Structure 1
Amino acid sequence: MYFKIALNNVKKSFKDYTIYFLTLTFAVCIFYSFNSIGSQSVMADMNAGQTEYVKTMERLISVISVGVSVILGGLIIYATKFLISKRKKEFGIYMVLGMGKRKMSKILFFETLFIGIISLIAGLLLGMLFAQILSIFTAKLFAIQMTKYSFVISTSAILKTILYFGIMYLLVMIFNVIIVSRYKLIDLICADRKNERVKIRNTYIAATMLILSLAILGYAYYLVNLAGLDFYDTRFKASIVLGIVGTAFFFYGIASVMFLLLQRNKSLYLNGLNIFSIRQISSKFNTNFISMTIICLMLFVTIGTLSTGLGVKNSLEGTLKNQTPFDASFQAVDDNNKKVSIMDALKQLDYNLEGNAEYVIFEQYQYNMSTKNLLDEYATTNEDKQIINLKVFEKTNMIKLSEYNDIRKLKGKPSVNLQYNEIIVSSNYEPLKGILKSFVEKEKTINIADKEYKIKDGEIETEALTTSPTSDNIFNLIVPDDLVKGLEVSDETINLNFVGDNREESKKELTAILSNFAFDNNSAYKNLNFIIHGCTREMAYDMSRGLSAMILFIAIYMGIVFLLSSAAVLAIQQLSQCNDSLERYRSLRKIGATRSMINRSIFKQVSIFFILPLALSIVHSYVGIKVVNQYLVALGAGNKLEPIIITALMMVVVYGGYLYATYVSYRNITDSEYN
């Protein structure tokens, strides 16, 4: 009997469940598709290095999924609370007819079970389709030509999704029992007669809080710009705390202040149903300022993760061509990170270069001169100072002119000549670009061993010295050969280009060696007293694409979940308050308000409720993205317009879709009063 009642209730109230059901379906879809990425058909076309990156990404997504399930569990409980509160009168009738609270809990149990099973099945089916799109997207990220395509269903991802959502629904069912056990008959029967109290805060207190919030947020923005992304900096931590407090104060004060300002504008305030709409909006913000704060911060995380995730991808891949001039580059170091002879290392690995590659071995020498002191005067911003305080700038690296010319010859470029008193300043490290530009514009010489050396042509040489997925040439001085005599050799690097009939086999063999060291899979070399650091050109591309794919997938995963959750909470809040305000809409009809006037009022309320937290989150995001962008340049390029446009489109589609769906549902609830 209870099973049948629950089934009929779900059918009868399906309109009320629509947003709830769709949110759960999308959540299951996203959860399954991202957790199934390691099982998709694209894996068959990946090389060993690419497979390692996807496996790492899958492990990270699995860990993040625990946090995602907590967020979605909270969303489900919040939504369930709304759905139960909407049906208080129905439960009151059940109690009047003699039904006990335990039996009412059984009905709720079956209703939750039905909704859960329907959304789980629908979400898994949709997720299986979306996972195929992700598979193609992954192939594009890694620049893989898929030789064959097959529709793959991940059993492990299905079981994980069922397990996680099963636990969530079990908690929801327990929550339902607790809620029902606290009901009192008088509250249930009179539920529709209870009208939400309109709360208007003290205007002076609200105005003070609003002004204070703007000051706090301004100071938080200032601190985060000073600290950058240094998570250990107290200024960064303070900016986070102040940002949260300032956001809460903003939503505490904004409604009452705006209410006062609009109330003074009689032509606007007394026009149509604006009196009613403004009071409704003000009351809702005053009642829900904490939840509005949380939603605003969730939207901030959404915009930030999506736009910076896409920006990191562009930055990592933007300079790969210039960063990979050779077929391969690598070094050999011992356990103390001291250089080991490359030729000796290759001999122990039984790898023969002769006849299979043209190569150049060059050394870097450490000169006991602080690059930090050299450039400190030109590091004008806090970010510049953080850069030159890195350990790498404690001394200065030098390269012999003869070996530098050997590197250029391997690239197919002509040699360069230096006068006895000339040097070349070489760097392709993007964060140092502005500092070095200022330096060479003012300084024409560098003092080395009490002798002034002119900077050749007064310019910075920005070419890559090795093949690497990121900037490899942070700061080097190209000097006459005799200037490095007696200096300590810090690094020895080999650059090579494969030649001859066996070039592909040689490349494959070297790739296997470098991959074993790169992915800690060097069990075959466990008795060696050295480690190889380096990569082939293909490995550099795979590293860059692998890292960008991981960042992008995690950003999209978290961004979508936060976006769905914040939009769904806003929708559920609006629909819950609509039910609490039904008596007011009845009163409006009695005094002659038309349906179109009421619908316009509803649209204004829903729009402002959705737009205001989004607007503040965009301001937060602008500051956050600007700070992150200063660090993206270290990867090759800043965050450009394209990621922001893509993020904006996603926000319009998903967030705008929820806004419209909420308006339609809100309108349908009030329209039902006409029937």
Structure 2
Amino acid sequence: MTFIELVWKMAKVNYRKYLFYFLCNSFVVMVFFMFSTVYFNEGIRNANEMDGESLSTILMIPSVALIVFTVFFIHYAHSVFIKRRKKEFGLFLMVGMSDKDISKVLLLENSAIALLSLGVGLLSGSIFSRLFFLLLMHVLEMESIAFELHITMFATTVGVFLIVFSIGVAKSILDIRREEVLTIFKEDRVTEKNKVRSPLLGGVGLLLVIGSINFQYYFFSNSDYDINDGLVLLVGLISLLSGLFFTISHFGSFLIQLARSRKSVYYNRMLFLANVEYKFKQVKGISLLLITMTMVTIFYTSMLLYFYASAEKLAEEQRIYDVSFAQTAMKNAISDDELKQLFNTDNHEIKEHVTLDVLDYFEQSPLGDYFNRYSFLSAEQFNQMYSKHVEVSPGEMIRLDNITPEYHDPYVDHENGEGKYSIALKEIKLTEKQSIIEPVFDQLNIYEVNFIIVHPDDYDRIAQKLEVYKSTIHVLNLSNWEKSGDAYVTWKEQLKKQNGIEGQDPLLSRLDYSTEEVLLEPQAKIEVYNSNRKAGGILFFMSSFLGALFFVSSFMVLYLNIFSSIDQERMTFHKLYKIGMTKKEIRKVLAKELRLLFFLAPLLGLGIAFSYVAIFAKDAGGIVDNPLFTVNFMIVAVFYFVLQIAYYLLAKHRFMKEIMGDQKS
């Protein structure tokens, strides 16, 4: 009989084992490839709509989590498959096959499974990824971005899978070659020994978990340090997972040591504690995987709800007026009638339209080959916008820094003996009366944040005596800005076409630090609102995708763990039953073990997810100032645990039925 015939006969006899192993690997390949089609899509990565954090930063946590999932899931599926095959290998060794022959069998059958898994996984991933991609683009209203399939996606998926898969196969071959035939036959009846039982390592792991969370909280979005946020998340997450692994590995021993300090607790729960220690030796990798999956699912879904629920609130906070734009001598020209025709519809209308004329003067700096820019505003017009009335006399000025105080960087060109700011431009001299540091109107790219407010008479003198460039700031408030999206897009397109027809604008020609299109870009709440909704759409797609994936995966992982060793568990139950334990007592012990397995990892994942919510909430002022973060987190967490409880009850019922059989108490 040839090796191929031998492998084929084993596959036909044990087709369920092979089928489940094949499906697990195909599932991982499909999922990883589907994620790659989004992560490596150039259209999404370069989309103008993606404001704020880049896609790479947004997807850093799920990327690492998916790699961890891939490594552990493939490794665990392979371990279960080999464990259920070892008696066959032991039998082959007894009838005369060598270690080398067993290695050939393993290589042959695993190579076939790997190739089939890659083929089926990539094919199904290509089909389903297109469906998910089209759904994503529809949600984000980014249909212009094309679906892509290129070599990077295939190479990354194939490379990661083959590396992890090959390591697992190589480890199995080495284990088989090292073990004796008798050991292989007795393996399912020999308990695993914990080679290292150190509470100290558990403590180090716990400190590493706490330290990594604090590291990320302190350095993420911290403007005092020039550190990439993606790097902070990557380093912090790797440290966090490493610390969790050490902590989980020694949890059982720590629990027993703690219980021994109270003898009544220890002896009343000795069987349960011993089983817990044994279980945690077996499931430390699974527990880490479940913690990671729970953390990513709850965290990203919570952030999704926040982005959707607070998109309007964020737009209100980031924009003072509903629509703002600058009109120069030749660009962005539009009449009041044209504005009314655009924005006065059945859905919305203009409630307020205020204009503010700006005079820009450029003076050659005596300190270098550059120009000082002065933007003058009339106090009379400024008071139409400013909530607090200001008064200024001829020869006086008020400095306005149109920015929040936390971003204010004071800059003084000239100071007189009293420390007051003053300027002298030909026949015009102005002395500072006061300064205002607050956002009065929305910042436009064409202007700097510094303005000079003067008396109307001085404003007229500046217009007559100096070579200035006049422009106008328009601000509009609408009755229902949330529905102004279509009108705003139409208006922007009209301005863009009109600006392309006109010649070069005198003011814009002095501003060579940016393009004309960027300098003339309007600002609107609806644009910020749509941007936040689209960012939420990315999170919606990824959190829905990863949430469904991780919940199904947790089911598969727990299923593998619980039911792969069902025969051994059943034998243990019969032995305990024979020495006098009742069915009720055994059921109670098994129920405690299942509860620990089902809920300890999700609870730890829940706590870590909340820490990441607090980390990402820093940009919005923190979770204290934004209770919506906590509310959304609690909604998602409760929903997740309701599903987990339902799954636990179903698994418990089947597990008890498989273990107990028809035994009577």
107 and 30 in structure 1: CA distance in 2 versus 1, 3 angstrom threshold: closer
Deviations 1:602-630 (A, max 9, x none): 33223213433333333333333223212
Q: How does 1:393-432 map to 2 (within 5 A)?
A: 400-405=378-383, 408=385, 417-420=389-392
Measured in 1, the distance between the counterparts of 2:216 and 2:488 equals 51
Q: How does 1:183-262 map to 2 (within 5 A)?
A: 183=176, 184=179, 186=181, 189-192=184-187, 194-197=189-192, 199=194, 206=199, 225-230=217-222, 232=226, 247-248=244-245, 250-251=247-248, 253-262=250-259
503 and 246 in structure 1: CA distance in 2 versus 1, 3 angstrom threshold: closer
Partner of residue 329, structure 2? 343
Partner of residue 602, structure 1? 590
Measured in 1, the distance between the counterparts of 2:213 and 2:374 equals 36
Consecutive unaligned residues of structure 2, counting only runs of 5 or more, are: 341-353, 362-372, 409-418, 423-430, 479-486, 501-511
Partner of residue 495, structure 1? 474
Partner of residue 442, structure 2? 465
Partner of residue 617, structure 2? 629
**Contact conserved, 1:36 with 1:131, CA < 8 A, in 2?**
no
Partner of residue 311, structure 1? 306
Question: Aligned pair 1:282/2:284, yes or no?
Answer: no
Deviations 1:342-397 (A, max 9, x none): 435x3xxxx7535745884654999xxxxxxxxxxxxxxxxxxxxxxxxxxxx999
**Contact conserved, 1:606 with 1:663, CA < 8 A, in 2?**
yes
Q: CA shift at 1:281, angstroms?
A: 0.9
Deviations 1:200-239 (A, max 9, x none): 976xx52x56666666666666555554533756997997
Question: Aligned pair 1:353/2:339, yes or no?
Answer: no
Question: Aligned pair 1:508/2:496, yes or no?
Answer: no
Partner of residue 11, structure 1? 16
Q: CA shift at 1:600, angstroms?
A: 3.7
Measured in 1, the distance between the counterparts of 2:211 and 2:35 equals 41
Structure of higher RCO (CA pairs closer than 8 Å, 6+ residues apart):
1
Question: Aligned pair 1:644/2:633, yes or no?
Answer: yes
Report SS of the residue matched to 2:275: helix
Consecutive unaligned residues of structure 1, counting only runs of 5 or more, are: 147-152, 332-341, 367-394, 409-413, 436-445, 516-526
RMSD: 6.3
Measured in 2, the distance between the counterparts of 1:292 and 1:285 equals 8
Q: How does 1:88-103 map to 2 (within 5 A)?
A: 88-97=86-95, 100-101=101-102, 102-103=104-105
**Contact conserved, 1:49 with 1:539, CA < 8 A, in 2?**
no
Measured in 2, the distance between the counterparts of 1:296 and 1:216 equals 16
Which protein shows a greater Rg?
2
Measured in 2, the distance between the counterparts of 1:531 and 1:300 equals 45
Report SS of the residue matched to 2:392: coil
Aligned amino acid, residue 614 of structure 1: P
Report SS of the residue matched to 1:465: coil
260 and 543 in structure 1: CA distance in 2 versus 1, 3 angstrom threshold: closer
Measured in 2, the distance between the counterparts of 1:321 and 1:157 equals 41
| Identity within the alignment, % | 16
Report SS of the residue matched to 1:616: helix
617 and 507 in structure 1: CA distance in 2 versus 1, 3 angstrom threshold: closer
**Contact conserved, 1:427 with 1:476, CA < 8 A, in 2?**
yes
103 and 327 in structure 1: CA distance in 2 versus 1, 3 angstrom threshold: same
Aligned amino acid, residue 625 of structure 1: V
Measured in 2, the distance between the counterparts of 1:162 and 1:98 equals 41
Q: CA shift at 1:247, angstroms?
A: 4.0
Deviations 1:463-516 (A, max 9, x none): 653689xxx9998788444799899999977437799xx99975432256899x
Q: How many residues align?
A: 569
Q: CA shift at 1:89, angstroms?
A: 1.0
Partner of residue 84, structure 1? 82
**Contact conserved, 2:216 with 2:615, CA < 8 A, in 1?**
yes
Partner of residue 605, structure 2? 617
473 and 163 in structure 1: CA distance in 2 versus 1, 3 angstrom threshold: closer
Aligned amino acid, residue 311 of structure 1: Y
Deviations 1:315-353 (A, max 9, x none): 55423357274555259xxxxxxxxxx435x3xxxx753
Partner of residue 507, structure 2? none
Given the two structures, how large is their TM-score scaled by the length of structure 2? 0.62
**Contact conserved, 2:249 with 2:284, CA < 8 A, in 1?**
yes
Report SS of the residue matched to 1:320: helix
Measured in 2, the distance between the counterparts of 1:448 and 1:7 equals 90
Aligned amino acid, residue 627 of structure 1: I
Report SS of the residue matched to 2:329: helix
Report SS of the residue matched to 2:517: strand
Deviations 1:244-287 (A, max 9, x none): 6654554355433322343455665555xx42221111233356
